Amino acid sequence: MVGGSGNADAAGATVDDPGGFGRRLGLHHPESGSEPLLPTERARTEGQGNAQVGLGDGRPTATTAQPALVVAGVRQANKKKPASRAALRIATLNMNGGGSSSANIRDKWSQINTLMRTGNIGVLALQETHLTKEKAQEYESIYHRLKIESSAHPTHPTSRSGVAVLVNKYTTQWKEMKTREIIAGAALLVTLKWHNENTVNILAVYAPTGSGQDNAAFWKEIKKIWEDDRTLPRVDVMLGDCNMVETGLDRLPAHPDPINTVNAMIELREALNLGDGWRLENPTLKNYTYSTKYTDQANSRSRIDRIYINYDIIERTREWRTAETSVKTDHLLVSAQISPKGTPFVGKGRSTAPDFITKYKESAEALVTVLRRHKASVEALIDAQKRGVRDPTNNIQTKWKEIKTSVLKTAREQAWKRASKVDQHIRDWEERREKTLQLENLDEEANLLLDEIEDEIRKWKVKKILRAKDKAAARHHLEGESNSKYDFSMNKNRKPRDSIAALRYPQDETTRHLPPNYTNSTKKMVEIATTHHSSIQEIEHHDMQPEEREHNRNVVINTIKTRVNEPQYNEIDGEFTRSEIEEALKSVPNGKAAGLDGIPVEIWKFYVSKHKETVGTEDETPDIIAILTAVFNDIATHGVAPDTEFAEGWLCPIYKKKDRTDISNYRPITVLNTDYKTLTRTIMNRL
């Protein structure tokens, strides 16, 4: 998809006079010797050279990874491959029952709901749920994020075993989910549609504890069920509490499990073509997901909570994690990401500066320091501009690009520093756990240390959840049911992200009779989108000689009856003034996504207010409006300087209707940089 639409807006707002305002707005580049471009030509040319595509759900935000990709030929210095694929995070947790009271049960489910949200978990398998169908429906009505499919113990549903699969409605196509109970209270199969026509078949299990014979019989029964019923689908993922290990390395103190139990599991794995993903990736590492909680004797540990992945997709599984949670249980959460076959690469998106950073004194001062650091060089360039002296490679535009880069870097550094100290404590304790686990000899003393570390991690995670709850409750009390933006976002319909899984190659008259071809290659899809939108801009393009173009221009101009007088013309064609820029910047609404430069309007408005507060003092903040005025006047006179990325836009396709593989069925939305929007608003106000 083409990122030149923002440029076309600017061009369309000009007075088409080669010697006047149109030339001053930079419809040509005198430094490169090119002749003036008409609005449609400018949009076409820059659309091909400054293209950015968002192959996501059309909702660019300042948070999560954004599904945008740079078209080949743009920003050639950055040739990194996209960092990750769109993926489904799956996880398993033994919740250790509901608790001894109804309050404990509600608290556990509240924490599980928070875990799904903060951990970006798409599918969570729970064991020891003690959950009836009625209770599952009740929790669904309380926690709107969750779709709960459960299987209870046949005779003791509220006190024994039980498995459940929780699906995140906000990130999955949960409405098309299918479930099948394999063994009541112990094995539940879920089939979930994922990315176009792909499906993921997930088998959640809770194996018997205690007797090795019962455990072995459980795996044999599952194997027999699949052998007898050919309608059952291939298992892509099997996860849960296995209550056994396949190797002594997975127990502390190390010892093997009964051979019959191990063989039963191996036979099932081979029959279903499953592999222990984490162990295959970490053949010699030690990690444990369960620990006993004795107080009068040494505790033992084991890796009984596991995720098995079908070998056909195991290479598309990554980011294995074993982590403590705030849920009161003696098991750890095990999770991984899987990418169905054919899922396109999705980039991490642009870096952005959080708008809230200006509210903190230390961070605000750091941002002001950035401007002060550039103050002398900016003043020198503005003075040279007034004297008509300009260096093509070192001017106010290139300096502005440098300032924006520094502001973004500083804002992100400050945001990292402002990250909760609770998070830092959690990271520190998790690092200690990793180091302790990899000790050559994990003796009783090391085991006690692991107990202490895991208790600390759980304590800090509980504290983090409680703080977040208090903060959310306070905000809801203040802004809930107030017709505010917050209130609207809380009550709006949430849909799962809808990335483009594949696009159809365009066909012309010579290929229309052939079967259509499709691609799920991100690079190819970007090329298809770019070609499509470039071709749209070509529709009104007419090749003609300069003399013919000038004649046609005059014909059109002469049909206009309303004329501007000389004072009005001079006003339109004059340099931008400080008051114009300030008014335009003030009119840019807050709370909008930042453009490709990553800087939201709130930061520029912060600089304006800081300058007004400190003007005339020793600590005067440099005047951002004066800098913008100089930048815009330089653009009007000399055009957009090369490599400043001033006019680049973040373009996201919004699906409209009909065939999802046809790029013409997507409506393009362009997110522009704040400084670009300020310039176009200034022009609009003047006209």
Kindly report, residue by residue over 180-236, the tens digit of the pLDDT.
999 999 999 999 987 666 789 999 999 999 778 999 999 999 999 999 999 999 999
Closest CA to 586 of 670, 681, 672: 681
Q: 31 and 67 share a domain?
A: yes
307: helix, strand or coil: strand
Strand (E) or helix (H) holding 421: helix 421-437
Q: Give pLDDT, residue 60.
A: 35
Residue 551 lies in a domain: yes
236: helix, strand or coil: coil
Residue 612 lies in a domain: yes
Question: Cβ contacts of residue 131 below 8 Å, gap of 6+?
Answer: 98, 148, 150, 152, 157, 158, 162, 164
Predicted confidence band of residue 257 (pLDDT cuts 50, 70, 90): very high
Q: 494 and 600 share a domain?
A: no
Residue 542 lies in a domain: yes
Question: Cβ contacts of residue 511 below 8 Å, gap of 6+?
Answer: none
CA distance 108 to 327: 6
Q: Give pLDDT, residue 281.
A: 92
Q: 120 and 230 share a domain?
A: yes
Residue 295 lies in a domain: yes
Q: Give pLDDT, residue 402.
A: 96
What pLDDT, in 10s, does the model give residues 552-600? 999 998 898 888 888 888 778 889 999 999 999 999 998 888 999 999 9
Q: 9 and 128 share a domain?
A: no
* Dihedral sign, Cα of residue 231, residue 233, residue 235, residue 241: negative
Residue 226 lies in a domain: yes
Predicted confidence band of residue 424 (pLDDT cuts 50, 70, 90): confident
Least confident segment among 130-144, 273-287, 649-663: 649-663
Q: What is the mean pLDDT of residues 139-152?
A: 94
Does pTM top 0.85 for this prediction? no
Is 69 a residue whose pLDDT tops 50?
no
Beta strands in 520-674 (DSSP E): 649-655, 666-672
CA distance 580 to 576: 7
Domain limit, last residue, from 498, 518, 549: 498
Domain limit, last residue, from 498, 513, 537: 498
* pLDDT mean across residues, the chain: 82
Residue 348 lies in a domain: no
Residues spanned by the domain of 187: 87-343
Q: 361 and 335 share a domain?
A: no
Q: 242 and 373 share a domain?
A: no
Q: Are strands 274-276 and 305-310 parallel, antiparallel or unpaired?
A: antiparallel
Q: 390 and 297 share a domain?
A: no
Q: 373 and 431 share a domain?
A: no
Per the structure, how many domains does the chain have?
3
Predicted confidence band of residue 276 (pLDDT cuts 50, 70, 90): very high
CA distance 242 to 304: 5
Q: 313 and 369 share a domain?
A: no
Closest CA to 527 of 315, 344, 322, 380: 344
**Alpha helical stretches, state H, 229-305:** 259-272, 277-281
Q: Give pLDDT, residue 410.
A: 94
Residue 297 lies in a domain: yes
Q: Please measure the distance between the N-terminal and C-terminal CA atoms of the chain and give it in whole angstroms.
A: 30
Q: Give pLDDT, residue 598.
A: 92
CATH number of the domain at 187, please: 3.60.10.10
Is 631 a residue whose pLDDT tops 60?
yes
Residue 400 lies in a domain: yes
Domain limit, last residue, from 343, 378, 408: 343
Q: 238 and 382 share a domain?
A: no
Place of tokens 């609207």: 488
Is 460 a residue whose pLDDT tops 70?
yes
CA distance 164 to 162: 7
Q: 494 and 505 share a domain?
A: no
Strand (E) or helix (H) holding 188: strand 187-193
Q: 274 and 338 share a domain?
A: yes
Q: What is the mean pLDDT of residues 350-372?
A: 90
